[in-house]
Structure 1
Amino acid sequence: MKACRVAVVGAGLAGLYAARALHASGIDVIVLEARDRLGGRILTADEAGMPAEDGFDLGPSWYWPQMQPPMETLIGELGLHCFAQNSEGDVIIERMSRERPQRYRPTMVEQQSMRLSGGTASAVRALARDIPADRIRRDATVTAMTLSDTGIELTVKSGQGNFEIFRVEQVVAALPPRLLEATVSFSPQQDPGTAARWRDTATWMAPHAKFFAVYDEPFWRTVGLSGTAQSMVGPLVEIHDATTASGKAALFGFPGVAADQRAALGEELLKQACLAQLSKLFGPAALKPRAVLLKDWAADPLTATAADRVGGGHPLPGNAQWVSGLWKDRLILAGSETSPSEPGYLAGAVIAAGLAVADILSKMDSR
């Protein structure tokens, strides 16, 4: 049996932020991540779909500095470089299948969306660098939590199928509440009201997919297009320029096809339909990509549950009581969806993790 003061479950932005802050405060902490990579819903990939240090964000990509100062502060602290989402040029609107797409000059954007050079995973790498490598365990799936007089015993399954027990004083669950409720068994069980709240909290973006078409150059810019398009026809309903800071050209879009329909259609047919639509919107050059990528988050069992296959609304800020009863002094939820502000967004992950760290340090001081 292994012992540690704090276990952080999940190595996404929230989990790594919390672990880094706890380690800096001298707290013995271990991070347990079910995936074989860090980042959670943050995934920056090359044109083959493999994790890369300079690639395309198959998960979250944008943040808004003025509306989300915690994210701006973190990026400054980590010394990361950012750049503005391309919005120079006209926008295309596709209203009906029997009408030609229309081209419009966009109005001034009040809140400029920003992206990170190297992709959002650059923040993941920067946070992980400040945590000792032996305190991060990949392929470590927490399957059960048992409350004891001195803390929590975690049952952890390795990628090889072996089980280990970790005894800790506190647990920070830095994953979506719905995923936590669906994948971890608790002894004693969570209060029915608490479990219901976790189940009813939709995991942001879990029902969705992202399609990318990678090109030799951003040909749409040369004809005065921004790469932004909106469609009521589909299959893509929202399209943007995904060209990286280093100049790797791409367009990406969100399919408006529901998860079950995507599964029935199949990945190849969906990719073909998306390329045909890009050609209709941006011209025949769109039919000649270097590569295409499709990341279906609804098909990712470490992101989505069966309940996430139906589109849910954006999580709403709620009260801070995510854990109650016997568990409230030992378990803290810190997934982005639990944040009192900007829930679901990158900034929400930073805020939720910061609150979890403050809570743990306060409890340990009092002990």
Structure 2
Amino acid sequence: MSIQTCDTLIVGGGLSGIYAACLLTQKKVSFIVLEARERIGGRILCPEHHGFYADLGPSWYWPSIHPKLAQLIQTLGLEGFREFEEGLGRFQRFDGAVQTVRGYATDPPSFRLCGGMAALIKTLCRRIDGNAILLNHPVCHIEKISSGALVSVGQLEKDPWVQFRARHVILALPPRLAAATILFTPELSYGLTQAMLKIGTWMAGQAKFSAFYEEPFWRQMGLSGQAFSERGPLSEIHDGSNNGAGPYGLTGFVGIPAVQRNQEPRLTEAILAQLALIFGRPAAQPTAFFYQDWAREPFTATEFDQPPMYEHPLYHPPAGKAAIWDGTILFAGTETAMQHGGYLEGALVAAERAAMAI
């Protein structure tokens, strides 16, 4: 079996990995991106409906507190727009009763990206060599060698499909996922492995929906599209419409724990019934409906991500290490950022740190 060689291997084709590839392109460093999925983007997932892209992963950014992302959007020639928040909100009590409440405007203001967050990935990819991105390449083994690392692609306990030799390896994926799915030789220390496993993967236990309609009937009722529920199955709902035009949509998060979300058709029925109860009967008849359960994604979530995450963790490099094996392996991915971990901003921060170390 032949072994391919490059200066740097980037494991993971989400925002952190693709941005790292863009930075290495500027430095004229040879690289290959290994993405386990059949698509790039990682947790950025944007199905298209009538020319509009729904965000089933990260949806919002805050320019006033995410300066790197705001600057990157401007540099790439992309545009953002304010999240629609005009009007009253809805609140569903545990007994199912629905109340109209005062609307809640986010502070600082939240923005969404024209073209969906996938526009970030698509535009960055135009700046790098597309032949350097290899899809359907799950990394199963990383071995330390004298010249750097030998990386195997395939499945554990089976012969590798292909191998790569590189001076550096950027792990642009959640530390918990790396610790649970990649065999390291020599073994990582117990303390480092435990630290990686304890870093919860943001959104890994979440499920999200987007429903689209021909008319924004909730706006016509004086509602913002915001709703919160103690009953479920949805716990949080927002307006998910296009910027100033159709298609019009509602989007939000399922509040049922991941271990109980095992019957998607029945869950979809329950979601539509709840939307109708909160916003009226038209909400039960969307022209398009998208649903994504990230806890069922093997290249995002592990068994450790099944319990619900009730607050945003304080992210940092695992065990305080941004690199191991004398700088051969560099941690990236938003969960390893010292600032804004879990957000898209954190993905950029971690990618810059790794690229600067090469």
Confirm or deny a common fold (TM above 0.5).
yes
State the partner residue of 2:196.
198
**Residues 1:106 and 2:103 are matched in the alignment:** yes
Unaligned runs of 5+ in 2: none
Residue in structure 1 matched with residue 113 of structure 2 by the alignment: 116
Letter in 1 for 2:260: Q
* Stretch of structure 1 that moved more, 308-317 or 147-156: 308-317
Q: Structure 1 residues 39 and 187 mapped into 2: Cα distance closer, same or farther (>3 Å)?
A: same
Contact 1:315 1:337 in 2 (8 A): no
Aligned residues: 351
Alignment match, 2:137:
140
The superposition leaves residues 317-339 of structure 1 with CA deviations (integer Å, 9 ceiling, x where unpaired) of 33675548962410011010000
The two structures have a TM-score, normalised by structure 2, of 0.94
For the aligned residues, what is the CA RMSD? Answer: 1.8
- Residue 199 of structure 1 and its aligned partner are, at CA, apart by 0.4
Moved more, 89-98 or 147-156: 89-98
Q: 1:175 aligns with which of 153, 158, 173?
A: 173
User: 1:258 corresponds to which letter in structure 2?
Assistant: P
Counterpart of 2:69?
71
Which 4+ stretches in 1 moved above 2 angstroms?
104-110, 244-247, 312-315, 317-326
* One of 9, 19, 22 as aligned partner of 1:7: 9
Whole-Å separation in 2 of the counterparts to 1:328 and 1:67: 34
**Contact 1:203–1:315 under 8 Å retained in 2:** no
Residue 298 in 1 paired to residue 300 in 2?
no
Structure 1: which 5+ runs fail to align? 361-367
- In the alignment, the residues of structure 1 paired with residue 324 and residue 279 of structure 2 have an alpha-carbon distance, to the nearest angstrom, of 58
Q: Alignment partner for residue 89 of structure 1, among 87, 90, 98?
A: 87
Q: Tell me: CA distance 1:15–1:322, structure 2 relative to 1, closer, same or farther (3 Å).
A: farther
1:135 & 1:319 partners in 2: Cα distance? 27
Residue 265 (structure 2) aligns with: 268
SS in 2 for 1:40: coil
Query: Partners in 2 of 1:166 and 1:126 — Cα distance?
Result: 27
Is the contact made by 1:34 and 1:142 (CA closer than 8 Å) also made in structure 2? yes
Task: Name the stretch that deviates more: 299-308 or 253-262.
Answer: 253-262
Aligned to 2:355: 357
- 3-state DSSP class of the match of 2:261? helix
Hey, what's the Cα distance between the residues in 2 that align with 1:70 and 1:83?
17
Paired residue secondary structure (2:283): helix
Cα offset, 1:119, TM superposition: 0.3
Distance in 2, matches of 1:53 and 1:301, equals 29
| CA distance in 2: counterparts of 1:334 and 1:275, whole angstroms | 38
Any residues of structure 2 matched to 1:280-359 within 5 Å, and which? 280-312=277-309, 313-318=311-316, 322-323=320-321, 327-359=325-357
Separation in 2, partners of 1:112, 1:5: 41
In the TM superposition, residue 95 of structure 1 has moved relative to its aligned partner by: 2.0
Which whole-Å deviations, capped at 9, do the CAs of 1:25-70 have from their partners, x for residues lacking one? Answer: 11011111011111000000025xxxx9731011111011111111
CA contact (8 A) 2:316 2:341 kept: no
1:244 aligns with 2:242: yes
Higher alpha-carbon deviation: 211-220 or 230-239: 211-220
State the shift of 1:97 in Å: 1.8
Aligned to 1:365: none
CA contact (8 A) 2:171 2:332 kept: yes
Cα deviation for residue 218 of structure 1 reads 1.5
Counterpart contact for 2:191–2:319, Cα < 8 Å: no
Contact 1:278 1:286 in 2 (8 A): yes
Helix, strand or coil at the partner of 2:52: coil
Shift in Å, 1:106 = 2.4
Q: Partners in 2 of 1:129 and 1:12 — Cα distance?
A: 15
Q: Residues 188 and 293 of structure 1: is their aligned pair in 2 closer, same or farther, counting only changes over 3 Å?
A: same
Aligned-partner SS, 1:234: coil
Counterpart residue identity of residue 54, structure 1: F
| TM-score under structure 1 length normalisation | 0.91
Contact 1:323 1:331 in 2 (8 A): no
Counterpart Cα distance in 2 of 1:98 and 1:320: 42
Contact 2:38 2:135 in 1 (8 A): yes
C-alpha change, 1:322 and 1:177, in structure 2 (3 Å) is: farther
Mapped partners of 2:94, 2:138: distance in 1? 47
What is the aligned counterpart of 1:226 among 206, 224, 227? 224
CA distance in 1, matches of 2:174, 2:12: 10
Structure 1 counterpart of 2:254: 255
- Contact in 1 for aligned 2:199/2:318 (Cα 8 Å): no
| Identical pairs, percent | 40
1:154 matches 2:151: yes
What is the aligned partner in structure 2 of residue 185 from structure 1?
183
Deviation at 1:109, TM superposition (A): 3.6
Secondary structure (helix, strand or coil) at the match of 1:293 reads strand
Give the superposition deviation at 1:108: 4.8
Task: Tell me which moved more, 57-66 or 305-314.
Answer: 305-314
Is contact 2:239-2:250 (8 Å) kept? yes
CA deviation profile, 1:213-267 (whole Å, cap 9, x unmatched)? 221121111111110001111111100011123521111121110111111xx11
